[in-house]
Structure 1
C-alpha cells in the first residue's frame, strides 16, 4: 500500500508538523522530519498512545447522507420532448476499529480497562470529528463542482441544439473537454478508517476496512453509474461506404447526428458545357442538360418550334436553346468511321507515288452559245443532235486523245435551271473553258459561269465561238468580260482569249494548246496505285440495266469487282463502260466511266471511295442515310409550322401537289428548283415525292 508522510498526516489530522513529531516521539516512533513515511502499524501505535494518554471511549457511528437531483430532456425524432428527473442518494458511514476485533478481545478489554478507554476515547473522538468534518466538506465541494460542470454542459448542449447541423468531430471534442473537466474537478479525499457498528447484511459485517481501501473509494467518482450517458460510437466502415452507428448503454439523451451522405441542394447555378452534334433529339439534349424533356419542349415552344421528345433538331436551334437556358454550347466533333475512312485515303495519297495526269476541263457558258458543238468537233461526234431540242440536259464526261495529249472534258448545260450542275462541274475540274458567242456577247449564264469558276478558284480560258459569222464582234465581248473582272492577256491580264469556230474548226488546235499549257502550269499529278476515289458526275436508272452512275476517277485505280461507297449507296461494281459504251476492266485518274452495281442512284456530286471492308462501308452508308433523313424531317417540320394556321385564313393559298420523276439526278434537281420558283401567294407548289425513273402506281 501507499506510504503516508508525516507532513501529509499532519495536514490530514489538522495539526502542525512539530506537534505531531513531538507526539510521535513520545509514542516511541523514530520519526524526526516531515518527509519521513508513516506505515499503518505506526499509525496504530500513535493512535494507541493517544488513547492510552487520554483514555478510550466507545464512539457511536456517524453517518452522512448526500442527495442529488438531475433533470434532463430527451428529444425524439418527431420533435417531442420528454423530461427525465434522476434522484440519487449516497450514505457514508464512519466505522470504528473496535468492531474489527474479535468479540472475546472486546469483552476482555472492556472489563479490564474501562476507565482508560473512557479517557482516551474522548480525545480520539475530538480528533476524529475534526478529520471527518474536513472530509465531508471536501466531498460536498467536489459534488457542487460536478453539478456546476454538468449544468454548464447541459446549457451548452441545449444552445447548440438550436443551431444548425454540427459535425461529429465537434461532438467528440466537447465530450473530450467534458471528461477532462471532470477529471480536473476530482478532489482527493483524506483516507480515514471507518467502522460501522451495525453489520451490513451478514456478508459484509466482518470485512476489515483499512485506510488504503478508504482512499481508493474516496478517489472513485461519486455517482459514476448515474453519470453514464449514451455516447455515439462509430463502428468499422461497412459495405458501400456506409458507417454503422450504435449507442452505448445508458440513459437516452438527445443526439444530433451529422449525416454527410444527405443530398444538399446546390446554392449556385451550375453552368454546363454541352456538346451538340449536327442533329440531336430533344430527349438526348435534355439528358445532356440534366433537365426533364418537358422543359426542353417548353423552351422550344417559346422559340416557335412545336416538336416532340423523339424528334430531331438541328445544331443551330440547339445552340440557341442551350444559350437561352444559360449554358455553354460546344459543337461536337464527329470522330466516326467516316472521318477515319477519309484520313486513310489522305494518308495513302500522301505516301503513294504521284505521276502527271490529264487535265479535267469543264465547258461552261450561256445556252445555245455552241458548247456541245465545239466538243463535237473535237471528239468528231454528233451528240448535240441527240439531245432534246438540241440543248444539253445532262453533264457529259469524255476523254479525248489528241496529238497534244489526253484531255478529259465535262460538258455542262447552259440553261438557267441547271445551276447546280454547273457548280458541280466547276468544283471537280482543273480548267474552265468559258464559251461566249462572238455575235451575242455576255449573257446571264455567262456571268454565272464566271462566278462558279472564281468560287472554285479554277483558271478560265475564254473561247470566242461563232467567229465565222459576219456580225461577230470579239472586241465587244472582250470589253464586256473585262467589266466582269476577266482581263485578257492582250490587256495585261492573265486570261487567255482564243477565237474559234465550231463549224469551220478555226482555232481548235490553239484551244487545245492553251489547255495543255495551262495544265502544265498547274503541275497536275495523281496516285495511280491503290484504292480509287473520285466524284459522281451523274446518275440515272435504266429499265433494263438498273442503276447507272457516271463517275470521274481522281485518285487510284478503279477495277471491276471493287466494292464502292458513294454517298448513301454501296455496291459491288458489276460492269464498267466508257463514253463510247465500250466495256472496260479498269480506269485510272482523269478517266470518266459509267458504273453498274450500286443499290440506289447516288446524288450527283457525291464522292465515292473503294473500300475493302464491306461491313464498314454499309455502316457509313447507314449513318449518312440517317443524317439525310433527319435533315428531311427538320425541313418538313419547318413547313408544317409555317402552314399551321394557313387553313384558318380566309384567302388561304391553294396547294398544287406534284410528283416529280426524271431520267437523271441532275435534271431532278433542276426541275424541283424551277417548280418551287413558280409558287405565288395564291398557289403553292407542294412536291409530294420525287425520284429517278418512270412514274409507277406506288408513287401515286
Structure 2
C-alpha cells in the first residue's frame, strides 16, 4: 500500500483522527499533523504496538490473548397452555467456557509438580509414622523386660524370707530344749539376739507382695474399664493424620445415561448427593424432586454442567437383540389365511361364522352381541381358515382396529335390510388403513325387505366398488340363517388367499400376537394367541409385553388340549406371569432369564414414561383448572372379564367427559372385584362397575359397610347409558328466561305514600306482580328489580293482560319517565343432558 495521510488512514480503519494520533504517539511515531503522510513501516510499527497492548502478542512475540473465553447463550420460547391459549414464556440459559490449550498444558505441568511435591511430603510422613511405631514397639519391649526382672527379684526375696523364717523356728525349738539348764539372764540375752522376720521392700518396678503388677491409669484415660489380672499396660504413640491423599484435580467420570432415570439415580452415578443435582437444575430453571424422572437430553445437560462426560446408552439394545432372535431363517410354506369378520351391530357377523362352524357361538353372548374378540380355527372343504370375530359396536373401535392389524382378509358383513351404518364405515376405514383386501358379505338376503343394490350404491360412495361395476372388491350375497351363498363366500376367501400367496416359516421359534387375555380364577392368566410364524410348543418360554412365562398348557377353540400350533393357528395358552395387553407381540425366547430381563426392562420403562406423563399432566392440569375452575368428576373402578372389554369400556367412558364434568377411571383391570378394589373405591369415593364379573365375599362386606355404589353389567350399552345419566345429573341446570309481558309507560304520577307511579298500557303478554321486571329506555335496560305495586284503577291486581291500562310502582326506583317500557319475565331451570 502506498503512503497515505493520517486522516485518510483513520477513515480506512474506522477510528477518530485524534485517537489515531494518540496511538501513533504511544507507539513512538512522531506524527502530530492529520495531513501528514504515514508510511507502511510506520503502519507495521503501529500494528505491532497495538497487538502487544491488547495481548494478542506477548513480549516474546508469541500469541497471548485471554487464556479463557466464556460464552453465554440465552434462548426464549413460548408454551401455549390450555384451550384458551394462555402463553408461558420459558427462558433457557447456557454457559460454556473455552480454555487455551497452552494454558491447560501449563496448568497440567504445574499440577504435576504439585503432585510430585505432595507425594514426597506424604512419603516423609509415612516414614516418620513407621519410625514412631518402631520406637513405641522397642519401648514396650524394654518395659516388659524390666517388669519381668522385677517380678523375678520379688520371687527370690519371698523364697529367702521363707528360708529365714524356717531357720528362726528351728532355733526357737532348740532354745526351748536348753531353757531349763540355762539361767534366766542368758535366756533373755538369747531372746535379744534372736533374728526378726524381714519384710520384702517394695521394688521400683511397682510389683505387689504377691508378684502381681500394680495397676496404673494413664493421664487423661480415667473412666475406662479396669484391667483384668495379668494384663499389661502398653503405650503406643500414633499420629492423628490419615494416610489418604486428597486428589489434586477434579475427578471426571463417564456417566452412562439411559433413556429415562430419576434424579436420585443420576446423583448416585456421579457419586454426589441428590441435593447437589437439584441445586444445579434449579440454577438452570427447573424445579425437580429427588424421585422425578429425567429424560436423556436433560440428564446429559446436567452431567455436562457438573463437569462429567455423558455417555448415552441405547435403551433399545435389548429390543434390537430380540428382533435378531425373532428372525427365523427357514423355508417359506403356504399358510392358512386369517380372516376377520367386521360390520355393524346386529348385521349377522357372529351368525354367519356360526353357520360356518356349525356351533352356536351367539348363545353365549349377552343379548346376542359379541363383547370381545373370538378366534376360531375352522376346517372347511376349501381348506383351513382362521376367523377373528370382532364386535361391531362403536365402543370396540380399538379392538376392531387390532383385528384389522393381524388379519389377511376382511369380510365386511352388511345387512341387506339395513344398509351402510356408522360402524360399517369405520370398518372400511380400518381395513383400508391396514392395507387389507375386503370381501363384502351382503347378509340377510332371505328377508323380504332386503335390497342388495342399495348396499352397493351406499358402499360405492365410500370407494368400495363391486367387481361387476368395474371395481376390485368381491361381493357375496349370503344368508346366515339359511346358508345361502356361504359356499360362494368361502370360494371368494380361498381365491383371495391364493392371490395374496400367504406364506410363513413353519419351523423354528414361534412369533405371534395376543388376540385376547383374561384372568381365570382356577387357571390364572389366560391368553388367546394367534401364531404368525414358527411352531409354538408346550413348554416354550414366551415373552409378551410386560409378561413372560412357560407354556404350561395349550388348548384350541374347542377346549381340547394340543401339543403344538403352527402359523395362522389361534390357541389358548396358560402359564404367563400376568394377563398381557391385547395386541402385544408374542415371541419365544431360548431361556427364562432372558425373558425375565426384557419383561422387567419394559415394565420399568413403561413406569418411567407413565410418571413423566403424570408430571407433565400435573402442570397442564394446573393451568387448565386455573382457567376453567374446578371440574366435577365421576370416579369409577372398572373391572371386566377380558382385557379387550376393559379397553373398550375405558375408551367409551372417557369420551363422555366434557368441560364441566368428567369421568375419571381410578383403576381398571381384569378379573373379579376384590378387597383391594373395594378399599380403593372407599378411599377415592368411586363407583364400582363390574362387567361380566362379580365381587367376592370380603369385597361385598366392605361395599355394604361403606355404602358404596356397585353396578353389574353384561351389555356395554347399559354401562354407557347409566354413566351418561349420572354425568347429566352432575351438570348444573340451565337457567332460561322468558319474557311474559311488556308494558309501555304513558305518564308518571307522584304519590306522597307510594312515590312515582307509572301509568302504563300493557302492549304484549301479561304483567304479573310476583315476577321480576326490567325498565327499558330506548330499548336499553336501565334498571332491573321487582314490582312494588300493581293496580287496576284503585284495586290491587295480581296480573294485568295485554290491552289493559294499569298503574305500576317499581320498588326502590323513582326515575321512571314517560316513554319507558317495563318488561316482565320469568326464570325456568331446565335439566341438561350430555
1:353 aligns with 2:331: yes
Question: Could you say if the C-alpha distance between residues 615 and 503 of structure 1 is closer, same or farther in structure 2, counting changes exceeding 3 Å?
Answer: same
Structure-2 residue corresponding to 1:343: 324
Question: Contact between 1:574 and 1:597, CA under 8 Å: does it hold in 2?
Answer: yes
Give per-residue Cα distances to partners, 1:302-353, cap 9 Å, x unaligned.
Answer: xxxx64354225689999999xxxxxx999854412211112222x2xx211
1:625 aligns with 2:603: yes
Structure-2 residue corresponding to 1:565: 543
Please give the alpha-carbon distance, in whole angstroms, between the structure 1 residues aligned to 2:354 and 2:642: 22
Higher RCO (CA < 8 A, seq sep 6+): 1
Please give the alpha-carbon distance, in whole angstroms, between the structure 1 residues aligned to 2:465 and 2:639: 43
Give the TM-score, by structure 2 length: 0.48
- How far is 1:243 from its partner? 8.9
Please give the alpha-carbon distance, in whole angstroms, between the structure 2 residues aligned to 1:527 and 1:568: 26
Structure-1 residue corresponding to 2:348: 370
Question: Contact between 2:350 and 2:361, CA under 8 Å: does it hold in 1?
Answer: yes
Question: Contact between 2:259 and 2:314, CA under 8 Å: does it hold in 1?
Answer: no
Please give the alpha-carbon distance, in whole angstroms, between the structure 1 residues aligned to 2:466 and 2:588: 42
Please give the alpha-carbon distance, in whole angstroms, between the structure 1 residues aligned to 2:385 and 2:112: 75
Give per-residue Cα distances to partners, 1:151-191, cap 9 Å, x unaligned.
Answer: xxxxxxxxx99979969998xxxxxxxxxxxxxxxxxxxxx
Which segment is superposed worse, 687-696 or 626-635? 626-635
Paired residue for 2:640, among 633, 651, 662? Answer: 662
Corresponding residue SS for 2:622: coil
Q: How does 1:169-208 map to 2 (within 5 A)?
A: none
Question: Could you say if the C-alpha distance between residues 495 and 276 of structure 1 is closer, same or farther in structure 2, counting changes exceeding 3 Å?
Answer: farther
Structure-2 residue corresponding to 1:488: 466
Please give the alpha-carbon distance, in whole angstroms, between the structure 1 residues aligned to 2:464 and 2:283: 54
Paired residue for 2:561, among 574, 583, 586? Answer: 583
Structure-2 residue corresponding to 1:102: none
Structure-1 residue corresponding to 2:614: 636
Corresponding residue SS for 1:575: strand
Question: Could you say if the C-alpha distance between residues 492 and 316 of structure 1 is closer, same or farther in structure 2, counting changes exceeding 3 Å?
Answer: farther
Please give the alpha-carbon distance, in whole angstroms, between the structure 2 residues aligned to 1:685 and 1:541: 26
Q: How does 1:482-561 map to 2 (within 5 A)?
A: 482-561=460-539
Structure-2 residue corresponding to 1:607: 585
Question: Contact between 2:514 and 2:586, CA under 8 Å: does it hold in 1?
Answer: yes
- How far is 1:642 from its partner? 3.6
Q: How does 1:87-98 map to 2 (within 5 A)?
A: none
Structure-1 residue corresponding to 2:405: 427
**Which one has a bigger Cα radius of gyration?**
1
Aligned length, in residue pairs: 441
Paired residue for 1:395, among 373, 392, 402? Answer: 373
Question: Contact between 1:604 and 1:666, CA under 8 Å: does it hold in 2?
Answer: yes
Question: Contact between 2:376 and 2:557, CA under 8 Å: does it hold in 1?
Answer: yes
Question: Could you say if the C-alpha distance between residues 494 and 319 of structure 1 is closer, same or farther in structure 2, counting changes exceeding 3 Å?
Answer: farther
Structure-2 residue corresponding to 1:114: none
Corresponding residue SS for 2:637: strand
Give the TM-score, by structure 1 length: 0.57
1:687 aligns with 2:665: yes
Structure-1 residue corresponding to 2:594: 616
Please give the alpha-carbon distance, in whole angstroms, between the structure 2 residues aligned to 1:162 and 1:372: 89
- How far is 1:619 from its partner? 0.6
Q: Unaligned stretches of 5+ in structure 2?
A: 1-51, 63-105, 118-247, 250-254, 271-275, 304-309, 680-834
- How far is 1:536 from its partner? 0.4
Please give the alpha-carbon distance, in whole angstroms, between the structure 2 residues aligned to 1:466 and 1:483: 22
- How far is 1:624 from its partner? 0.6
Structure-2 residue corresponding to 1:58: none
1:453 aligns with 2:431: yes
Please give the alpha-carbon distance, in whole angstroms, between the structure 2 residues aligned to 1:317 and 1:678: 37
Question: Could you say if the C-alpha distance between residues 341 and 650 of structure 1 is closer, same or farther in structure 2, counting changes exceeding 3 Å?
Answer: closer
Paired residue for 1:312, among 289, 293, 301? Answer: 293
Corresponding residue SS for 1:513: helix
Question: Contact between 1:367 and 1:415, CA under 8 Å: does it hold in 2?
Answer: yes
Corresponding residue SS for 1:372: helix
Question: Contact between 1:300 and 1:321, CA under 8 Å: does it hold in 2?
Answer: no
Give per-residue Cα distances to partners, 1:397-444, cap 9 Å, x unaligned.
Answer: 001111111100000011111111111100001001111111111111
Corresponding residue SS for 1:367: coil
- How far is 1:649 from its partner? 8.2
Which segment is superposed worse, 336-345 or 604-613? 336-345
- How far is 1:650 from its partner? 9.5
Question: Could you say if the C-alpha distance between residues 557 and 162 of structure 1 is closer, same or farther in structure 2, counting changes exceeding 3 Å?
Answer: closer
Q: Unaligned stretches of 5+ in structure 1?
A: 1-159, 171-233, 246-261, 264-273, 323-328
Give per-residue Cα distances to partners, 1:351-371, cap 9 Å, x unaligned.
Answer: 211110000000011111110
